Amino acid sequence: MSPREPRFLLSELAMILRRRRNQAMLGALFVIPVVIAVAVKLQAPHGGGRGDTGGALFGNITENGVFVAFSALFVVLTLFLPLTTAVVAGESIAGEASSGTLRYLLVVPVGRTRLLLVKYAGILTWCVLAPLVVAVAGLLAGLVFFPSGDIVLLSGTPASMASALGRLAMVTGYAAVMMAAVGAIGLFVSTLTEVPVAAMAATLAVAIASEVLDAVPQLHTIQPWLFSHYWLQFGDLLRDPISYDGVRHGMLVSIVYALLFLSLAWARFGSKDVTS
C-alpha cells in the first residue's frame, strides 16, 4: 500500500462524516434506542412469546437494559439501516459526478479500481458505524432506565452480563455484514447515474423489493437467496447454545451479493465515460 492510500481513505471517511445529512442520520439512529427505552419505561410491552423474536426482545427489556440495544437493532435492521446505507452508497460515485469532482479525481491520477475500492471501504465503515451507534445508544439507555447484570436469553437460559455484551458485539457485527450487501448494490447503482437522489432511491427500492418478496409465502423457493431474508436471523445468537447455521448462511449470502455487485460496479465504472 502506497503512502497515499491511507490519506485517500481518511479523506473519504472525513467527507462521509462531515456531511450534515449523514450526521443527522447518525443522530436519528442514536435517538431511536432512547425513544424505545423511554416508551417501555412508561408502559411495559405486551404480547410476544419466546417464539416471537421481536416480542421476546421487547418483553425482556424491563428485566435487563441490554435488551434495549437488541430491540433497537431489531427495529432498525429492516428499514433505518438500509435507508442510511442506501443514502451513503448511492451518493458515493453519483455525488462526485454530480458535483463535477469525479473527473478531477481520476486525472490526479487515481485509478478507477482504487477509487472504487476506497469508496466501498468508506461505505463499509458506515455499515459498521451505523449499527454500532444504535448498539451503544441502546446499551447506555438500557443501563440508565433498567436493571443490569445477568440476563435470561431467548432460550430461557441465564447468562452473564459479559456474555450479553459479547453477543451484542456479534449482533452488531452481523448487522454490519448484512448492510454490506446493500452498500455494494448502492455503489453499483451509483455508477449508473449522475443523480445521487436517484441512486439512493433505487438502492432503497431494491432493498424494499427484496423484503416484499421475502414476505410472500408463495415465493418460499427463492426466499433463502434474497439478501434481506436473513436480516433478523441474529435471534439465533441470543440463544443457548448458539445456532450458527442460519447466521452463517445469512453472512454467506450477504457476502456473495456484496462481491457480485462490487464486481458489477467495477465492470461498469471501468468502462464509464466520465465527462463531468
Residue with cell 449482533: 171
Query: What backbone phi and psi angles, to 5 degrees, belong to 158?
Result: -75, 155
Distance, in Å, from the CA atom of 269 to the CA atom of 253, rounded to the nearest integer, reads 24
pLDDT at residue 108, rounded to an integer: 55
- Domain holding 59, by residue range, is 4-270
Residue 105 Cα distances to 2, 25, 112, 115, 274, angstroms: 17, 27, 9, 8, 11
275 found inside a domain: no
pLDDT at residue 82, rounded to an integer: 97
pLDDT at residue 196, rounded to an integer: 93
Distance, in Å, from the CA atom of 237 to the CA atom of 225, rounded to the nearest integer, reads 21
185 found inside a domain: yes
pLDDT at residue 102, rounded to an integer: 62
Distance, in Å, from the CA atom of 140 to the CA atom of 147, rounded to the nearest integer, reads 12
235 found inside a domain: yes
Give, for all 276 residues of the chain, the pLDDT tens digit: 444 567 878 888 999 999 999 999 999 999 999 999 999 998 866 544 444 677 888 888 989 999 999 999 999 999 999 999 999 999 989 887 776 666 555 555 557 788 899 999 999 999 999 999 999 999 999 999 999 889 999 888 999 999 999 999 999 999 999 999 999 999 999 999 889 999 999 999 999 999 999 999 999 999 999 999 999 999 999 998 998 999 999 999 999 999 999 999 999 887 665 554
Which alpha helices (H) appear in 19-145, and where do they start and end?
20-42, 53-59, 66-76, 80-92, 94-99, 102-106, 112-145
* Residue 255: closest CA among 180, 203, 189: 180
245 found inside a domain: yes
276 found inside a domain: no
pLDDT at residue 276, rounded to an integer: 46
Q: Note whether 63 and 152 are within 8 A (CB).
A: yes
138 found inside a domain: yes
Distance, in Å, from the CA atom of 193 to the CA atom of 272, rounded to the nearest integer, reads 10
DSSP per-residue codes, 68-93: HHHHHHHHHTTTHHHHHHHHHHHHHT
133 found inside a domain: yes
pLDDT at residue 4, rounded to an integer: 58
Q: Note whether 72 and 166 are within 8 A (CB).
A: no
Structural domains in the chain (count): 1
248 found inside a domain: yes
